[in-house]
């Protein structure tokens, strides 16, 4: 008889640790691949499993192997059909040359050449490597619209479905002991004794006395049992639940972008990468994340993602139209007590000369009060980046927003010149604000 063991319930993922080590080892290369994929893909696709090729650097496992193209070998093969000793067969093309590169023999050569799936979590880990999420969720409980029951001790009243049997029976047991409720066995024992005594055909006076005594005791005990119930209403305990408010778990992200002629492919690409990051970021934190795309020239429209990134439109540049549109959409669809509102605006900084004042007014008066966070990203020419990096000087829009950012801590602005800037900038925008949680 063997020892049968059911291991199916043992923890799975025994190799998870090894898998993580492997991913860590090839982190840099995977990161590059993911970045490329995210850059060329759609925003919503970013947040999925990714198929990536196995990175070659750092994962080679070299051993001493014979080079395939050297030496004299003898192969024995099955299934001879027409060969006779001494026949010559042309060497298959590629066999001699391809294997000369030191590839592994047989089935081993495919090992380093395959694609595998990274889960969403792993992708995001790579993406946000050491980025701390800012604590910007709306915690103002008055605004919370949903409640979740949470266990909070015991109560003496409640609905029958919430009876806590364990606690109730414990109370009942304690009370029964304290009040000395006779047990059924004790009464039975007495009854048996009486029966035994009564069975005696010629009872002596003593026995008769004893019987009467016992009958009395029996009666008292039975009365006690009736008076002291097994479970009394005072024993009963109910699980108590307290409604716990849940902070609203929805977020909406407004993407605002200038699409006038001055925004070229490069600018849009940079803007897109920034939006992607922000979206992923929010999606990690909130149950539901909507995205609203608003593009503007001298007038603003809400559009779908495709149009937002890939179609062009000509016209002037009036930024305040986009802000106006955003305000309108918030009022129509995203009441700020139910939604966490984030906005990201990307622009090259152009604005018609008299409009910047309007923008500041709109932001100050209304939008900043509604928004959880507002990020303004100005995309500048690489050549300008060195000049502008350290200075507050800039376009009219930049200067105007500067004032806003001084007044509102949840307004952040920065400049991006090349893709490599985006991570550090994103990091800067989000990493520094844990002291500014709103609603305090």
Partner 1 sequence: MNKRSAKSSLLFTGSDWNFDMLSRVYDAIEEVAIDDLGLDVYPNQVEVISSEQMLDAYASIGMPLMYRHWSFGKHFVHEELLYRKGRRGLAYELVINSNPCITYLMEENTMAMQALVTAHASFGHNHFFKNNYLFQQWTDAGSILNYMEFAKGYISRCEEIYGIAAVEAILDSAHAIMDQGVFRYRRPPRLSSEKERQRIRERLEYEERSYSDLWRTVPQKQDGTEQQVAERELRERKKSLKLPEENLLYFLEKNSLILEPWQREILRIVRVVAQYFYPQRQTKVMNEGCATFVHYTIMNTLFDRGQITEGALLEILASHANVVFQPDFDDPRFSSINPYALGFAMMQDIERICVNPTAEDRDWFPDIAGNGDWRGTLRNAWADHRDESFVLQFLSPALMRKMRFFMLDDQAGENFYRVGAIHDERGYQRVRAALAHTFDLSANQPDIQVVDVDLLGDRRLRLQHTIQSGSLLAEQTRDATLRHIRRLWGYEVSLAGVDADSGKLLYETSIEEA
Instruction: Report the alpha-carbon angle 381-373-346, nearest 5.
Output: 25
Q: Does 391 bind partner 1 (CB under 8 A)?
A: no
Among 35, 37, 54, 225, binds partner 1 (CB under 8 A): 54
Give the length of the chain. 440
Task: Select from 31-39, 99-107, 174-182, 412-420 the region that touches partner 1 (CB under 8 A).
Answer: 99-107
Q: How far apart are CA 189 and CA 196, in angstroms?
A: 10
Given phi > 0 = left and psi -120 to 50 = alpha, else beta, which region is 71? left
Give yes or no for residue 57 binding partner 1 (CB under 8 A). no
Tell the burial category of 344 from Cβ atoms under 10 Å away from its Cβ (0-12, 13-18, 19+).
buried
Token digits for 315?
């016209």
353 binds partner 1 (CB under 8 A): no
Note whether 304 binds partner 1 by CB under 8 A.
Answer: no
Establish if 98 lies at the interface with partner 1 (CB under 8 A): no
Query: What gap in Å lies between CA 252 and CA 340, rounded to an integer?
Result: 6
Binding partner 1 by CB under 8 A: which of 88, 142, 226, 383? 88
Residue 143 tokens read as: 């605004």
- Alpha carbon distances (Å) from 193 to 189, 207, 210: 6, 11, 10
By CB under 8 A, tell whether 169 contacts partner 1: no
Among 39, 66, 287, 365, binds partner 1 (CB under 8 A): 66
Q: Interface mask (CB under 8 A) for partner 1, residues 15-34, using x and -?
A: x-xxxxxxxxx---------
Contact 253, 290 (CB under 8 A): yes
Least distance in angstroms from the C-beta of 29 to partner 1: 13
Residue 209's H or E segment, with its range, is: helix 205-227
Minimum CB distance to partner 1, residue 15 (Å): 4
94 makes contact with partner 1 (CB under 8 A): no
77 touches partner 1 (CB under 8 A) = yes
Q: Do 251 and 339 touch, CB atoms closer than 8 A?
A: yes
Strand pairing category for 340-347 and 300-303:
unpaired
Q: Which of 8, 142, 226, 383 binds partner 1 (CB under 8 A)?
A: 8
74 or 161, CB closer to partner 1?
74
Which range binds partner 1 by CB under 8 A, 60-68, 189-197, 253-261, 399-407? 60-68
Instruction: Select the residue interacting with partner 1 from 40, 57, 78, 386 (CB under 8 A).
Output: 78
Interface residues toward partner 1, by CB under 8 A = 1-8, 10, 12-15, 17-25, 54, 59-81, 83-91, 96, 101-103, 106-107, 111, 114-117
């Amino acid at each position: 008889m063997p020892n049968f063991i059911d291991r199916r319930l043992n923890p799975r993922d025994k190799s998870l640790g090894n898998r993580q080590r492997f991913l860590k080892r090839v982190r840099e290369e995977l990161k590059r691949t993911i970045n490329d994929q995210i850059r060329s893909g759609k925003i919503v696709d970013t947040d999925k499993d990714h198929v990536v090729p196995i990175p070659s650097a750092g994962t080679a496992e070299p051993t001493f192997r014979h080079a395939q193209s050297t030496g004299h070998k003898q192969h024995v093969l099955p299934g001879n059909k027409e060969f006779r000793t001494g026949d010559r067969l042309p060497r298959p093309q590629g066999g001699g040359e391809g294997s000369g590169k030191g590839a592994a023999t047989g089935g081993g050569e495919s090992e380093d050449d395959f694609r595998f799936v990274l889960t969403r979590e792993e992708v995001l880990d790579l993406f946000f490597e050491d980025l701390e999420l800012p604590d910007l969720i709306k915690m103002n409980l008055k605004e919370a619209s949903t409640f979740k029951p949470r266990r909070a001790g015991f109560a003496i009243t409640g609905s029958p479905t919430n009876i806590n049997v364990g606690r109730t029976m414990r109370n009942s047991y304690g009370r029964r002991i304290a009040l000395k409720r006779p047990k059924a066995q004790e009464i039975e024992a007495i009854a048996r004794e009486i029966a035994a005594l009564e069975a005696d055909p010629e009872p002596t006076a003593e026995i008769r006395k004893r019987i009467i005594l016992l009958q009395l005791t029996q009666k008292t005990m039975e009365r006690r049992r009736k008076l002291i119930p097994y479970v009394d209403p005072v024993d009963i305990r109910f699980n108590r639940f307290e409604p716990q408010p849940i902070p609203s778990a929805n977020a909406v992200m407004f993407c605002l972008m200038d699409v006038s002629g001055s925004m070229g492919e490069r600018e849009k690409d940079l803007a897109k990468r920034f939006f992607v990051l922000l979206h992923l970021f929010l999606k990690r934190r909130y149950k539901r994340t909507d995205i609203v795309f608003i593009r503007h020239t001298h007038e603003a429209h809400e559009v779908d993602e495709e149009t937002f990134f890939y179609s062009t439109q000509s016209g002037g540049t009036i930024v305040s139209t986009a802000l106006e549109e955003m305000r309108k959409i918030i009022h129509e669809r995203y009441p700020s007590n139910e939604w966490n509102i984030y906005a990201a605006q990307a622009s090259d900084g152009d604005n018609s000369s008299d409009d910047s004042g309007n923008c500041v007014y709109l932001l100050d008066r209304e939008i900043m009060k509604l928004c959880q966070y507002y990020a303004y990203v100005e995309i500048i020419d690489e050549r300008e980046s060195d000049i502008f990096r350290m200075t507050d000087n800039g376009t009219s829009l930049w200067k105007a927003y500067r004032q806003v950012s001084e007044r509102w801590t949840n307004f952040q602005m920065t400049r991006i010149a090349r893709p490599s800037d985006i991570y550090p900038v994103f990091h800067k925008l989000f990493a520094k604000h844990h002291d500014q949680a709103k609603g305090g």
